[in-house]
């Protein structure tokens, strides 16, 4: 796709976000199986299902705008996911591994949150009110996930890793 105007930029970034969600949906179950804290494992499993739903909602937005679900492959999320795997593989202690896993998961969430916030604003500017509602709803879920991860880290995982 040639990006030659704001609409095309929006669509290209929407395709990138779809790639982010697809990559996360495909990798979160692996992390859930390696978590030792039951709350963390459950949170990851819950978010994996949510993320798969986000991917599907983005597919519908892309279809409405003539975009392609496989239009882009987000390299930044690939790198973040690769780093999470490296951390998990380097640490034997369960609580310490969980702490590193939460840090990696929050990197993923923060990346998603930044892209979602930008795209929701762009959707409003372009008059794509339905897109903005969908993106804002996904953004809310990701912010809530980030907050729950912080609570798990603060209440159980980080103290156990000390």
Give residue 112's pLDDT.
97
Give residue 71's pLDDT.
85
- In this predicted structure, the answer to whether residue 93 has a pLDDT above a threshold of 70 is yes
Give residue 10's pLDDT.
97
Domain boundaries, the chain: 6-161
Query: What's the pTM value of the predicted model, to 2 decimals?
Result: 0.94
In this structure, of 11-15, 88-92, 120-124, the range with the lowest mean pLDDT score is 88-92
Environment class of residue 124 by beta-carbon count within 10 Å: exposed (0-12), middle (13-18) or buried (19+)?
A: middle
Give residue 94's pLDDT.
92
- pLDDT band with cut points at 50, 70 and 90 for residue 88: confident
Question: 6-161 belongs to which CATH class?
Answer: mainly alpha
Give residue 1's pLDDT.
57
How many other CB atoms sit within 10 Å of the CB of residue 41? Answer: 17
29-81 pLDDT, tens digit each: 888 999 999 999 999 999 999 999 999 999 999 999 999 999 889 999 999 99
Alpha carbon distance 82, 43 (integer Å): 20
97-150 pLDDT, tens digit each: 999 999 999 999 999 999 999 999 999 999 999 999 999 999 999 999 999 999
Give residue 84's pLDDT.
87
Environment class of residue 12 by beta-carbon count within 10 Å: exposed (0-12), middle (13-18) or buried (19+)?
A: middle
- In this predicted structure, the answer to whether residue 87 has a pLDDT above a threshold of 90 is no
């Amino acid at each position: 796709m040639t990006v030659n105007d704001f609409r095309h930029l929006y669509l290209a970034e929407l395709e990138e976000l779809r790639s982010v969600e697809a990559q996360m949906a495909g990798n979160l179950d692996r992390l859930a199986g390696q978590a030792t804290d039951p709350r963390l494992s459950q949170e990851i499993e819950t978010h994996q299902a949510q993320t798969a739903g986000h991917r599907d909602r983005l597919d519908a937005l892309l279809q409405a705008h003539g975009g392609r679900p496989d239009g882009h492959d987000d390299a930044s999320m690939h790198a973040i996911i690769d780093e999470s795997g490296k951390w998990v593989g380097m640490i034997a202690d369960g609580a310490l591994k969980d702490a590193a896993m939460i840090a990696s998961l929050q990197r993923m969430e923060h990346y998603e949150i930044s892209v979602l916030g930008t795209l929701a604003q762009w959707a409003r500017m372009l008059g794509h009110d339905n897109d903005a509602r969908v993106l804002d709803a996904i953004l809310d879920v990701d912010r809530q996930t980030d907050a729950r991860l912080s609570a798990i880290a603060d209440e159980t995982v980080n103290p156990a890793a000390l």
